[in-house]
């Protein structure tokens, strides 16, 4: 079964596509000859990526300056997608942020801003996509990028872990609600992968000790999420919904 070929011609929206995992998913979709819609706040980075995606084989690339913390911005992005007359097939809720800080000292504003992106943003994008699919009498696939932090906790990042646990639960609950419409909702739970979000940590003693606790004793690479991504995105995973699957070098089953 060639899952890459099954994505050819499909229209795939990736939020947070201006770096890291989002950039990787956009490149994968382009190599599979999908039509790629890339959204994030840093438009200059999206413009540079758009050129690369065309070279990689995407038959169509749409750049959307999009802030998932803003309902207006999301509505404007969907209005642009609607205006093209071509519906989305796959929506990847990848945009996300983390912040450090012990709970006793974390400003409330930091908690609120993280939740607005990591939880409310996922909800707003998912609902808009599903409303269009349900109205058109067709299905679609939503892939939420959660985290192993959605299953286990770690010191000093309570809002982040809480937000990812919310994404895991939202994935299962929306899968239940939308299965009748043929809309599948699944989540990838990545372990630690070197991206701009985490890069500063890996050179520290804390970071090096953390890598030793991963059973495979190394960080993951963004492309190591691609197999699961294609399974969720295509008909290869046609009976999968509400699945939240870790890809983490064994980190979640590390010894207690
Ligand atoms: N790297 C890891 O180890 C790891 C592990 C588990 C889960 N994850 C999850 O994977 C996803 C991607 O993270 P990453 O590691 O690739 O981090 P990253 O390189 O920092 O990328 C985060 C992306 O999210 C976008 N973003 C942030 N706030 C946004 C907003 N308000 N509106 C729209 N886009 C926004 C950023 O684009 P702009 O700044 O241009 O808007 C950027 O493209 C996140 O959900 C993260 O929680 C990562």
CA distance 225 to 193: 10
Q: Is residue 216 part of a domain?
A: yes
Q: Is residue 254 part of a domain?
A: no
In tens, the pLDDT along 30-41 reads: 999 999 999 999
Q: Is residue 8 part of a domain?
A: yes
98: CA distance to ligand 1 center in Å? 8
- Ligand 1, CB within 6 Å, residue ranges: 15-22, 40-42, 66-69, 94-97, 117, 145, 147, 190, 192-193, 195-198
Do residues 246 and 191 make contact, with C-beta atoms less than 8 angstroms apart? yes
Tell me, what's the pLDDT at 142? 99
Q: In the chain, how many domains are there?
A: 1
> Is the CA virtual torsion 18, 22, 24, 28 positive or negative?
negative
Q: Is residue 44 part of a domain?
A: yes
In tens, the pLDDT along 177-208 reads: 999 999 999 999 999 999 988 888 898 999 99
Q: How many angstroms separate the Cα of 186 from the Cα of each of 138, 229, 237, 247?
A: 17, 10, 10, 13
Q: Nearest C-alpha to atom 2 of ligand 1 is from which residue? A: 193
96: CA distance to ligand 1 center in Å? 4
Q: Is 160 a catalytic residue?
A: yes
The percent of residues above 70 in pLDDT, for the chain, comes to 100
Q: Is residue 253 part of a domain?
A: no
Q: Is residue 41 part of a domain?
A: yes
Q: Is residue 122 part of a domain?
A: yes
In tens, the pLDDT along 92-128 reads: 999 999 998 899 999 999 999 999 999 999 999 999 9
CATH number where 165 lies: 3.40.50.720
Select from 13, 14, 15, 20 the residue to mutate for testing ligand 1; criterion: most ligand atoms less than 8 Å from CB: 20
Among the atoms of ligand 1, which is closest to the Cα of residue 41? 41
Do residues 11 and 86 make contact, with C-beta atoms less than 8 angstroms apart? yes
Tell me, what's the pLDDT at 103? 96
Q: Is residue 220 part of a domain?
A: yes
Average pLDDT, rounded, for the chain: 97
CA distance 193 to 203: 14
In tens, the pLDDT along 73-94 reads: 999 999 999 999 999 999 999 9
Mean pLDDT for 6-14 is 98
1: CA distance to ligand 1 center in Å? 31
Domain limits for position 175: 3-247
Select from 152, 153, 195, 220 the residue to mutate for testing ligand 1; criterion: most ligand atoms less than 8 Å from CB: 195
Q: Nearest C-alpha to atom 36 of ligand 1 is from which residue? A: 16
Confidence band (pLDDT; 50, 70, 90) for 70?
very high
Confidence band (pLDDT; 50, 70, 90) for 6?
very high
Residue 167, pLDDT > 90, answer yes
């Amino acid at each position: 079964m060639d899952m890459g070929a099954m994505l050819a011609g499909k229209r795939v929206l990736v939020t947070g596509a201006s770096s890291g995992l989002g950039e990787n998913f956009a490149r994968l979709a382009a190599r599979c000859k999908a039509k790629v819609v890339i959204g994030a706040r840093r438009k200059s980075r999206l413009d540079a990526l758009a050129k690369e995606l065309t070279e990689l084989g995407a038959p169509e690339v749409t750049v959307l300056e999009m802030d998932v913390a803003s309902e207006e911005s999301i509505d404007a992005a969907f209005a642009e997608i609607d205006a093209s007359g071509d519906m989305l097939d796959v929506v990847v809720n990848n945009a996300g942020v983390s912040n450090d800080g012990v709970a006793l000292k974390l400003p409330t504003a930091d908690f609120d801003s993280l939740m607005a992106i990591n939880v409310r943003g996922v909800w707003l994008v998912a609902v808009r996509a599903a409303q269009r699919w349900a109205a058109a009498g067709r299905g679609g696939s939503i892939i939420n990028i959660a985290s192993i932090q959605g299953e286990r906790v770690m010191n000093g990042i309570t809002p982040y872990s809480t937000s990812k646990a919310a994404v895991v639960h939202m994935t299962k609950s929306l899968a239940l609600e939308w299965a009748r419409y043929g809309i599948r909702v699944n989540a990838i739970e990545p372990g630690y992968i070197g991206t701009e979000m985490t890069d500063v940590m890996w050179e520290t003693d804390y970071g090096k000790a953390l890598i030793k606790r991963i059973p495979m004793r190394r960080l993951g690479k963004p492309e190591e999420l691609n197999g699961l991504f294609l399974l969720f995105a295509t008909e290869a995973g046609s009976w999968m919904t509400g699945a939240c699957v870790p890809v983490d070098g064994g980190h979640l089953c590390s010894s207690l």
